[in-house]
Every structure is written in structure tokens, then in C-alpha cells.
Amino acid sequence: MATVHIVGAGLAGLSAAVRLARAGRRVRLFEAASQAGGRCRSFFDRTLDRQVDNGNHLLLSGNRSAMAYLRLIGAAGRFVGPDQARFPFHDLASGAGWCVQPNSGPVPWWVLSRRRGIPGVAPAAWLSALRLRRAGPAQNVAQCVGDTGTIFRRFWEPLAVSALNLPADRAAAGLLWPVIAETFARGGRACLPRIAEKGLSDSFIDPATRFLEARGGSLHYGARLKAITLTGSAARGLEFAGETVALDADDQVILALPSWSLGTLLPDLPVPDGSNAILGVHFRLPTGRDWGDTPFIGLIGGKAQWIFMRRDVVSITTSAADDLIDRDAARLAALVWPEVRAALGLCDSPLPPYRVIKEKRATFCQSPDQIVRRPGAESAIANLFLAGDWTDTGLPATMEGAIRSGVRAAEIVEKRSPLRAL
């Protein structure tokens, strides 16, 4: 039987691998690190004496590819969240708090309700969302929806930063519409917030590796790809540090690697060549508490955009963090702790133990000039395919985009090489 060799065990590689394994394909998965998951993983931090996630991630029920992946690996029940769409926010400048609560159906009558909407935003202001649907390829979010008013400060700017990892005046408007179309535009049932109950590895990664092993897939860690041997228009070998894997005539390859790592492997492939940082800080509180069914809160007007709460560990996410990422950890923790304290009502609590996580190349730069460089899943090499949130999924560089890219690559492999012919 032919083998599908997948290089990279992040969400893109894992989603391709589990789909192919379910279809009865023989899968070999290679990962340069000592564990699977890429940026989507958990680890034990000695300073906090707790298991923490490498980064904070919020899923929505309308993320259809992510939800299908979780059902496939048997992990759909490992998430928590409210039974209705609820998104609490705290404005650090004014001290105001509110909760955005879309109604369950697709007709958005919630924008008419003061209790469900954003203070200071008139119902007519929400019509600016329709401009995103017609956004031109060169437009940024601010140009498209306007860069003034309460709705920009309290909705469009925070959404652009969170979803696209860029300020609204740089983020590609064309990438924001799919986010809205697949979630908020479909009503509250499609935007129920979901957070991994125990952690990213427990929900996204460990069940996937067990799924693969149970179906005969092999996982190889510490395998960094150094070169690809080509014969004509086909890949015939994968050179890893310490091992060269020969490819049979019917073998297929999926490269699920970061875009910046492909420069030496496929130098003729145009890929996005910019990136942006994300900063995370975990704080351990003196005592734990029950945060209810909505264990997160959005921040307006601060350095951090989101706070996630899990028992006695409180974590912040700061996207578009290029201007902060080179500061030392102590300064960063001291900078964002007052924001956490204000939003959660922790009064004058002193700075607790913390762990700072810096991702300098967290996502590709999702600006108009960079998204045109996103390649599709197929390459000029006949038996080599691409996956990753930086490929042309039509979505931003999110977990949903990464998983969908892996599914797309797997679908092409299945069509190119039907199982009955192997």
C-alpha cells in the first residue's frame, strides 16, 4: 500500500493525518519537535506548578472544520462554554462592562437591544459589516468599515486584532468577512464560545495521536526536514537529520510546515514572507474560583485583548504584539497585570507568579499585500501538497483555518490516488 508522508504535526498536519487514517490510508507523520501540536499544545510550568497552554484559543460552534475534527478524534466533549452566545467585555478606560449576546436565529434583532449589544452603538452602525462582503483586495478593515466612532473602538478594531493579528488599519478586510459569515451572520447557534476544559493537548492533540496510532499510523518526533529529493516533477526522497526516507512511486507528501521554513525546501514557491507576534502571560492566583460557564472576558483599550480563566490560573492574550515582544518578561507581566486586576475585580492584588510566552512568528502577516502570496494546497511537484493556516484557505490564520487546510490537502490526496487503486 502506498504511504502518505506528512511533515509537521501541528493542527494542519494532524487534521490531514486523521482524515487519511480514517479513510484507510497508511500515514507516516514527522515532527521536528519532541511532541505534536505546534503552537496548539500544553506543557507543565514549574514556576506556576500548573499545566498551561502554549497559547489561548477560543473556538466558536460555527467553526465547522474544527468541530468535525474534534468529533472525529472523539474530543468534542472536552470543551466548556455557555449554552447561549455570550461575550463579556470590559472597557479599561471607562470601567464600563457589557455582554454581547447574539440571538439564536440568523435575523440579528439583538442589535436593537441595549441589553444584548454594545453601549453607545446605534443599530444602524452595524450595517458597516455589509461593506466587508464587498471589500476590495487592497482594502484594510479600517478603510472598509470606517475608523471612527464607538463601534470601531469597541468592535471592529478589537475583532481585527484578535482574528487577523494586525491593527484594523493594516489587516486585510477580505479575510474578516468569512469570520463573520460563518459565525455571527448565522446567529447565536453558530457563535457559541467554546474553550478546552483541561487544555489544548488534552482536547486537540493527544486524542488525535491516539487515533492515528490505533489505525496503524506512525509518528516520528525529532525529525526535522532538511531537503526534498526531486526527480523530474516528483518528490522521491525526504532527507531528515540522520535519516533519508525514500518515496515509492505511489507515495504522496503533505508539507504542513510554517511558511517561513519553506524557503530552503521549496525556494521557487511564493509564500507570505512577513509575520506578526502574539504575547501570552499566565498568572497563578493565590486561590482558585469558579468562573462560571463563560470563563473569558474581552478587554477594550488595553494591551491585552482577552483574559481566559481556568481555576487559579488566569491567562491573557495580546495579539499584534510586535512592539512588545522584545521587552523582558518582568516588564510585560507588570504591564498587563493591572488590566487583569481591573477587569476581574481583584482590587489591589499584587503581581502573582507568572509565565510569559512569546511567539514572534505566531501568524503570517495578514495584510492585503501578503494574502495574495498564499499558495493553494497543490504545488508544482506532482506528489507534494501543502497545508497550514498560511495557505489559501480563504480564512485567517486561526485553528479553523489550519484544520481546514489539512482537510483540503487530504481530500486532494484521496482524489489523486483512490484507495481502490493502491
Written as tens digits, the pLDDT of the chain (422 aa) is: 899 999 999 999 999 999 999 999 999 999 999 999 999 999 999 999 999 999 899 999 999 999 999 999 999 999 999 999 999 999 999 999 999 999 999 999 999 999 999 999 999 999 999 999 999 999 999 999 999 999 999 999 999 999 999 999 999 999 999 999 999 999 999 999 999 999 999 999 999 999 999 999 999 999 999 999 999 899 999 999 889 999 999 999 999 999 999 888 999 999 999 999 999 999 999 998 999 999 999 999 999 999 999 999 999 999 999 999 999 999 999 999 999 999 999 988 999 999 999 999 999 999 999 999 999 999 999 999 999 999 999 999 999 999 999 999 999 999 987 765 33
Cα–Cα separations (whole angstroms), residue 368 to 141, 163, 175, 321: 10, 15, 9, 19
Q: CB of 386 within 8 A of CB of 254?
A: yes
Compute, in degrees rounded to 10, the torsion defined by CA atoms 256, 260, 262, 263: 180
Other C-beta atoms closer than 10 Å to the C-beta of 203 total 26
Q: What predicted TM-score, i.e. pTM, was given to this entire model?
A: 0.96
| Residue boundaries of the structural domains of the chain | 3-42+200-273+367-421, 87-191
The three-class DSSP label of residue 420 is helix
In 3D space, the residue among 400, 398, 395 whose CA is nearest the CA of residue 374 turns out to be: 395
Instruction: Report the relative pairing of strands 234-240 and 243-246 from DSSP bridges.
Output: antiparallel
3-42+200-273+367-421: which CATH number, 3.50.50.60, 3.40.1010.10, 3.60.20.10, 3.20.20.10? Answer: 3.50.50.60
Q: Which helix (H) or strand (E) holds 246?
A: strand 243-246
Instruction: Give the whole-angstrom CA distance, residue 2 versus residue 24.
Output: 11
Phi, psi torsion values for 95, nearest 5 degrees = 80, 0
